[in-house]
Amino acid sequence: MSQLSRSDVANLARLARIDMTDAELDHLATEMDVILAAVARVQEVATPEIAPTSHPIPIHNVTRPDVVSASLTPEAALSGAPAQEDNRFRVPQILGEEA
């Protein structure tokens, strides 16, 4: 039985912000079936009384005093930018306005 249809995978790809070709979607839909069948084994032993573990060691929030300390210069922070303008990251339009 197929667990994930091609349109399910297309929806996941949309959520994950990855354009995919039809061939990729078809291929992934087939692979996901096999992989999901294998990983679903976790359900055999995951009974309600077991507490989940998200992290191997206890996690505590780490804070520092609220004082100014050394940080990247604007030039360093922008050094890897695909595009920049006026000392800022230049990005494609994020709203639907006319270009």
- Nearest distance, CB of residue 36 and other proteins, angstroms: 8
Q: Which residue has the tokens 């929030």?
A: 61
State both tokens at 60. 């505590």
Q: Does 92 bind other proteins (CB under 8 A)?
A: yes
Distance, C-alpha 22 to centroid of its chain:
21
> How many residues lie near other proteins (CB under 8 A)?
56
Q: Measuring CA to CA, which residue among 31, 9, 34, 32 is closest to residue 22? A: 9
Binding characters for other proteins, 14-43, by CB under 8 A (x = yes)? -xxxxxx---x---x--xx-xxx-xxxxxx
Q: Does 67 bind other proteins (CB under 8 A)?
A: no
Q: Does 6 bind other proteins (CB under 8 A)?
A: no
Q: Distance of CA 97 to CAs 24, 84, 92, Å?
A: 32, 20, 11
- Nearest distance, CB of residue 65 and other proteins, angstroms: 11
